[in-house]
Amino acid sequence: MGEGRCTIIITFAKDIGKLCECYRETYFKLERVIILDTSEHWSKSVANLTNSECNLLVSDVRLLADIYWLESYDIKIEQRNPYLESELAT
């Protein structure tokens, strides 16, 4: 906890069963990865989240970073959402 860079991936996984397999291959070089799958909470892709839903997600990401004492982290959003991207950048 707290040491080293971490990558947080925000995604909407249509097939939760293949999620680990997919990310193991895609991000296997990264030391620390946290995957946030929004499909259990919202029935729409990250690209289609409202501004209010994005604000909830931003709060959750920041809380997660605090809980895990993440000193530095990158965020990758698999489905483009300009509002979410701008809120996470601040």
Each residue's pLDDT, cut to its tens digit, for the chain (90 residues) gives 556 788 899 999 877 767 777 777 776 676 788 889 999 899 999 999 999 999 999 999 999 999 988 888 999 998 999 999 999 998
Looking at the 3D structure of the chain, how many domains does it have? 1
d(CA 41, CA 27): 24
Q: Is the dihedral of CA 70, 75, 76, 78 positive or negative?
A: positive
pLDDT of residue 5: 83
Segments forming the whole domain that contains residue 68: 5-89
pLDDT of residue 2: 52
Number of neighbouring beta carbons within 10 Å of residue 64: 15
pTM tops 0.95, yes or no: no
pLDDT of residue 14: 77
pLDDT of residue 28: 67
